Amino acid sequence: MTSPLYLGIALDGAGWHPSAWREPDARPADLFHLDYWVALVRAAEAAGIDLVTIEDSFGLQSTGFGGIDPRRDEVRGRLDALLLATAIAPHTSTIGLIPTITTTHTEPFHVATGVQTLDFVSDGRAGWRVQVSGRAHEAAHVGRRTLPALDPALVARGTDPAQTALLEDLFGEARDTVEVARRLWDSWEDDAVIRDVETGRFVDRDKLHYIDFVGDRFTVKGPSITPRPPQGQPLVYALAHQKVPYELAVAGADIVGITPHDDAHLVAILGQLDTAAQDVSRGADEPLRVWTEISVLIGETADAALATLDRLNATHGEPWTSDTVILADTAEAVAAQLLHWHSLGIDGVRLRPARLPDDLTAITERVVPLLRAAGVLDRPIGAATLRARLGFGRPESRYASPTAPAARATAAADSEADPAADSTVELDLTGSIR
Amino acid sequence: MTTTASTTIHPTAHPTARDAAGRPFRQVHLAAHFPGVNNTSVWSDGKAESQIAFSSFRHFAQNAERGKFDFLFLAEGLRLREQKGLIHDLDVVGRPNTLAILAGIAAVTEHIGLVGTLSSTFNEPYELARQLASLDLLSGGRAGWNIVTTSDAFHGENFRRGAFLDPKDRYVRAEEFVAVARALWDGWAPGAPAANKKTGEFLSADALTAVDHHGAQFDVSGFGTLPRSPQGHPVIVQAGDSADGRDFASANAEVIFSLHSEFEDGQRFFRDVKGRLPAVGRHPDSLKILPAATFILGDTAAEARERSREVALLQVSPQTAISFLEQLWGTDLGGYDPDGPLPEIDPVLADKGVARGRVRHVVDPVAVAKTWRGIAEAEGLSIRDLVIRFAAKHTFVGTPVQVAEQINRHVQEEASDGFVIVGHTNPTGLDEFVDRVIPELQERGVYRTEYEPGATLRDTLGLTP
């Protein structure tokens, strides 16, 4: 059997091109209505897409890092992604829902219980895309600290000690937040609720655990106010572009999203992830899965796709730039790129549609059938949760006592029953990709 | 308990019913309290379903909407309750994140208001204002916020700043929190975003107003991220009963979730709070007072009383009876027989309290214990009987007609504007109320038979002039 290639769609506004909202089929007036989002996610779900992510930030969108830009010709404003995802959940049944939640100014306790609750409402389809908030104007929304302006160019060069320190601080806090969330998710053992009439006890308090997290930035006592969610550990996704974020991904994520520009770059990134794996201890149960990210604008022909991109860029007044490769081409070319990555051992791809709904429709109607024909979209039958669908087992609580053989046997059976588990290409944390 | 109100109300079967003086009847407003994590919620009789599965929330909300309730209400506790230094294990434990579950419920309901309890101490205004605006947008204008001001170190241990707030500043922070939130909710002009594809203006000029707040509690500068929500500002609910709490409510709240469910006490509270409104330029109808109320129904009054006793025994297990007493006595009473007399020893005063994570203020435990002993001796009550009397007393016990008439009497005679109804079985505890009591209220012309199409929560509550 061919190993699977997993697919995610990154939803944001009217699409990722800044002028996408002006396209004829775009619905920019509906961006703050639930119906708009439900329609998009259902379309993805109907096509068999594994998950959607929903973008968010701790303030208005802005093109630069220096502050709010004066542009009024791009989409501004977003619904809270966690709440949006939770409202979408009852309208869907199989697709994974991964909201973006920032870690810089939020309360780790609220973040953890929020994702737990999404997992309950969606019956085990929750994830969390971890994001830091490095913009100075976002810090001013809380007023508890002032951040120096983050300069991506300086950060990329890694030569400015202040920028590096800022980055390490932001991502260190994100690592702590992920660690707190994971501990809180485990803080109730699965069988903590006993309803024992004889002794009058609703819970077995020995199966509720203080997490006693103590870090430089915060402490959290625990346990969670929320029982262990259906997946045990909702999925954590981290988009990463360089050393410090790679270390966050290795330390705490289930999936890292990377943005290779070509094959050589991909090999270099995988090497950096290997290095990070040697430097950082891993706080998640299973090996890190590696997904690539790509922005796509799909046309009937390559020329048509490029012409559309040119038109949108002209409307915008400057070329659209991205941290990912921007592929303006046919559905066949997009499918070929994805299958090429698959052949190099990549586990999945998060696709960023340039236009919504146009490029989502092109993905679901034209790219997905090509991938299905290639045999990479087979999924385990009866995979009820997002973890199971993506080939992850259901981890036992880290606090579970070793005298609970029943719970462990169930967890083991789950992962054995998953035909995808063995064939998944994984980043081996001993330092090589297999 | 039997009704004494039947002579004062003249039931008629249409919604324009008027009293003897020709005035329209005051309308009853009802909220549905999702079963909480205290001994009111019965879990030991085999009827209770999951306290956390979404199916429970869906059933509860859809039933309340079937009963045309104004809103459903979720409490919140940001740490599991403890007693004697251990997690309290006798009651239902475990709740969802309040905002997230309300967003999920918004997706499976159409009309009912969604009110969550959220702390002004362990949240920041920028984020919470945004989340509440999101909930209001996602629900089509049905969001409400019950502001609580808990500030103790026990809860603080789960949060970044720990116990940073002096208790006397709780309402100072809450006031400033609401002011910042309101400014953020007003930050986008009506009609924004323009989203004009033709002109290319997503936002018109002057669409956004920055907030620039600098006060004792908060420094918040910047732009909100959301258009004006259907209600503009979500409905503000408040439950604190202190003098500060009442002042805060009269200045800010639109609903008070009160503890004054007894008739005369309710009238006093009603007069006190509504009497504060003119001084702050508010109409009495702009603030609704809804006391919490439990209920037990029967085909006859006698059957209801019998059921009340049965439920009370489930709500106060032998272990719960001892645990309840320990909260007052401040010491381990595990050696006492719950079916025997009250302890003769006095409460331990030095202890800061054995119970943490719930609100219970007792000024003079020794005096209270003495009173309790007196009651128990005079009426021949065991420990468990006495605890039932205090912790499992049901507000309305009777036939559906009797319960409806009692509720209506409170409303017509200004002891409340309605009630927050608390069931004791999750999630079906209000099914019977909807089946049997709601039609009686509707018969009397004092309760809606349909929601107004497109009504916001504020509209449903009758808060908009």
- Binary contact (B318, A22; C-beta < 8 A): no
DSSP three-state, residue B196: strand
Report the C-alpha gap between A245 and B108 in whole angstroms. Answer: 38
Q: Are A411 and A385 in contact (CB under 8 A)?
A: no
Interface test with A, best of B158, B322, B387 (most A CBs within 10 A): B158
pLDDT (0 to 100) of residue A153: 77
pLDDT reported for residue B411: 98
Among the partner-chain residues A76, A79, A315, the one whose CB lies closest to the CB of B137 is A79
pLDDT at A415: 37
Which whole number is the average pLDDT over B384-395?
92
Across B9-19, average pLDDT: 54
Query: With an 8 Å Cβ cutoff, are B104 and A195 in contact?
Result: no
Are the beta carbons of B52 and A34 separated by less than 8 Å?
no
Q: What is residue B188's DSSP assignment?
A: B
Least Cα separation, residue A357 to chain B (angstroms): 16
Backbone angles phi, psi at A165, to 5 degrees: -65, -40
Q: Are B124 and B213 in contact (CB under 8 A)?
A: no
What percent of chain B is predicted at pLDDT more than 70? 94
In angstroms, the separation between the Cα of residue B349 and the nearest Cα of chain A is: 27
**Contacts of range A18-21, beta carbons closer than 8 Å, 24 or more positions apart:** A18/A73, A18/A74, A18/A75, A18/A316, A18/A320, A19/A73, A19/A74, A19/A312, A19/A313, A19/A315, A19/A316, A19/A320, A20/A312, A20/A354, A20/A355, A20/A356, A21/A74, A21/A75, A21/B195, A21/B197, A21/B202
Is B79 within 8 Å of A114 when comparing Cβ atoms?
no
The structure tokens listed for A211 are 């997490």
3-state secondary structure of A274: helix
Q: Give the Cα separation of A99 and B122 in Å (integer).
A: 22
Cβ separation A225–B54 shorter than 8 A: no
Q: What is the DSSP string of A48-115?
A: T--EEEE---SS---SSSSS-----SS------HHHHHHHHGGG-SSSEEEEEEESSSS-HHHHHHHH
Least Cα separation, residue A160 to chain B (angstroms) = 28
Does A312 map to a domain? Answer: yes
Instruction: Output the pLDDT for position B13.
Output: 42
Residue of A nearest to B122 (CA): A107
Q: Which residues contact B232 (CB under 8 A, 6 or more apart)?
A: B185, B186
Determine the residue among B97, B159, B213 to mutate to test chain A binding: the one whose Cβ has the most chain A Cβ atoms within 10 Å: B97
A87/B103 CB distance under 8 A: yes
Tell me how close the Cα of B168 comes to any Cα of chain A, in angstroms: 22
Identify all chain B residues contacting A140, using CB atoms and an 8 Å cutoff.
Answer: 219-222
The SS3 of residue B214 is strand
> pLDDT at residue B1 above 80?
no
Comparing CA positions, the residue from B60, B67, B64 lying closest to residue B440 is B67
List C-alpha distances in Å: A212 to A220, A224, A422, B76, B93.
6, 11, 35, 22, 20
* Residues paired with A299 in a beta bridge: A330
Question: In angstroms, what CA-CA distances link A246 with A164, A233, A259, A271?
Answer: 14, 20, 12, 11
Query: Taking CB atoms and an 8 Å cutoff, what residues of chain A touch B200?
Result: 22, 73, 315
Q: What dihedral do alpha carbons A350, A351, A352, A354 form, nearest 10°?
A: 180
Range(s) of the domain holding residue A423: 6-433
| DSSP secondary structure string for all residues of A226-255 | SPPPTTSS-EEEEE--SHHHHHHHHHH-SE
Q: Strand, coil or helix: what is A296?
A: strand
Which tokens in the block code for residue A132?
Answer: 């830091």
CA distance A160 to A171: 17
R_g of chain A, CA atoms, integer Å: 21
Strands of B1-153 (E only): list them: 29-33, 71-74, 82-83, 86-87, 113-119, 143-148
Domain count, chain A: 1
Interchain contact, A226 vs B52, CB within 8 Å: yes
Over residues B250-276, mean pLDDT = 94
Size of interface A-B (CB pairs under 8 A): 216
Task: Determine the 3-state secondary structure of A330 from DSSP.
Answer: strand
Higher pLDDT, B390 or A67: B390
Query: Is B124 in contact with A21 (Cβ distance < 8 A)?
Result: no
Q: Are A363 and A299 in contact (CB under 8 A)?
A: no
The angle formed by the CA atoms of residues B29, B135 and B447, to the nearest 5 degrees, is 15
Q: Chain B: nearest CA to A215, how far in angstroms?
A: 10
Residues B53-57: what's their mean pLDDT? 98
Question: Is the CB of B207 less than 8 angstroms away from the CB of A72?
Answer: yes
Residue A425's pLDDT is what?
Answer: 28
Mean pLDDT, consecutive 10-residue segments, chain A of 434 residues?
92 98 98 98 98 96 74 94 98 98 96 98 98 89 82 78 90 97 98 96 97 96 98 98 95 98 97 96 91 98 98 96 97 98 98 98 98 95 94 96 50 36 30 28
Report CA dihedral (B167, B169, B170, B171) to the nearest 10 degrees: 140
Mean of pLDDT over chain B: 92
CA dist B312 and A227 (Å) reads: 27
Which residues in chain A touch residue B202, judged by CB atoms under 8 angstroms apart?
Answer: 21, 28, 72-76
- Note the pLDDT of residue A426: 29
Please list the residue range(s) of chain B that carry CATH number 3.20.20.30.
29-301+395-460
| Nearest chain B CA: its distance from A352 CA (Å) | 21
Interface test with A, best of B93, B98, B184, B198 (most A CBs within 10 A): B93
* Contact residues, chain A, for B118 at CB < 8 Å: none
Contact A218, A175 (CB under 8 A): no
Q: Tens digits of per-residue pLDDT, B344-368?
A: 999 987 555 667 765 555 678 889 9
Paired residues of B220 in beta bridges: B213
CATH architecture of B29-301+395-460: Alpha-Beta Barrel (3.20)
Cα B232 to Cα B127, B136, B186, B285, distances in angstroms: 17, 9, 7, 19
CA pair distance B331, A3, nearest whole angstrom:
62
Q: How far apart are CA A155 and CA B370, in angstroms?
A: 70
What's the CA gap between A359 and A297, in Å, rounded?
6
Closest in A57, A110, A200 to B90, CB measured = A200
Give B-chain residues touching A104 at CB under 8 angstroms.
Answer: none
d(CA B124, CA B422): 30
**What's the gap in Å between the CA of A15 and the closest CA on chain B?**
14
Tell me the shortest Cα–Cα distance from B227 to chain A, in angstroms: 8
The pLDDT value given to residue A403: 57
Q: How many other C-beta atoms lie within 10 A of the C-beta of residue A3?
A: 17
Would A1 be classed as within a structural domain? no
Sheet with B355-356, edge to edge strand ranges: B86-87, B82-83, B355-356
Q: How far apart are CA B420 and CA B31, in angstroms?
A: 4
Q: What is the token pair recorded at A119? A: 């997992």
Structure confidence at residue B6 as a pLDDT band (50, 70, 90)? very low
Alpha-carbon torsion angle A157, A158, A160, A165, nearest 10: 150
User: Which two tokens mark A337?
Assistant: 């790129």
Q: What angle do CA B310, B313, B318 make, to 5 degrees?
A: 160
Pairing of strands B355-356, A427-428: unpaired
Q: Are A76 and B203 in contact (CB < 8 Å)?
A: yes
φ, ψ dihedrals at A268, nearest 5°: -65, -40
ipTM of the complex: 0.94
Alpha-carbon distance of B451 to B246, in angstroms, equals 30
User: B222 phi and psi, to 5 degrees?
Assistant: 140, -170
Nearest CB partner across the interface for A90, out of B104, B317, B318:
B104
Q: Tell me which residue in A78, A87, A143 faces B107 most closely, judged by beta carbons.
A: A87
SS (H, E, C) A110-169: HHHHHHHHHHHHCCCCEEEEEECCCCHHHHCCCCCCCCCCCCHHHHHHCCCHHHHHHHHH
CA dist A341 to A286, A325, A345, B292, Å? 22, 13, 7, 60
A216-225, B6-15, B170-179, B212-221, range with the lowest pLDDT: B6-15
Residue A108 main-chain phi, psi, to 5 deg: -55, -35
Q: How sure is the predictor about B23, in pLDDT bands with cuts at 50, 70 and 90?
A: confident
Q: Give contacts of B193 with chain A, Cβ < 8 Å.
A: 28-29, 31, 76-77
Q: What is the structure's pLDDT at A412?
A: 36
Q: Please state, in angstroms and rounded to a whole number, the distance separating the CA atoms of residues A92 and A360.
A: 17
A140/B220 Cβ within 8 A = yes
The region that residue B280 occupies, defined by phi over 0 for left and psi between -120 and 50 for alpha, beta otherwise, is alpha
pLDDT at residue B39 is higher than 70:
yes
Give B232→chain A minimum CA distance, Å: 14
Least confident among A239-253, B12-26, B371-385, B449-463:
B12-26
CATH value at residue A317 = 3.20.20.30
CB contact under 8 A, A202 and B93: yes
**pLDDT for A69:** 75
* DSSP labels, A365-415: IIIHHHHHHTT-----TT--SHHHHTT---PPPTT--TT-HHHHHHHHHHH
Residue B459's pLDDT is what? Answer: 97
Structure confidence at residue B361 (pLDDT):
59
pLDDT at residue A160, rounded to an integer? 87
Report if residue A51 sits inside a domain: yes
Burial class (CB in 10 A: 0-12, 13-18, 19+), B401: middle
CB contact under 8 A, A222 and B201: no
- Name the token pair of A298: 């799909």
Q: How far is A201 from chain B (nearest CA, A)?
A: 5
Task: Report the pLDDT value the prediction gives residue A145, as an integer from 0 to 100.
Answer: 80
Where would I find the beta strands (DSSP E) of A175-227? 193-196, 201-203, 213-214, 219-220
Residues of B with Cβ-Cβ distance to A201 under 8 angstroms:
89-90, 319
Q: Which tens digit of pLDDT belongs to each residue from B286-302? A: 999 999 999 999 999 99
Span B114-137, average pLDDT = 97
Cβ distance A203 to B320 less than 8 Å, yes or no, reads no
| Backbone torsions φ then ψ of A240, nearest 5 degrees | -145, 145
From residue A84, alpha-carbon distances to A163, B100, B280 in Å are 33, 9, 37
Helix axes B318-329, B365-379, angle to 10 degrees: 140
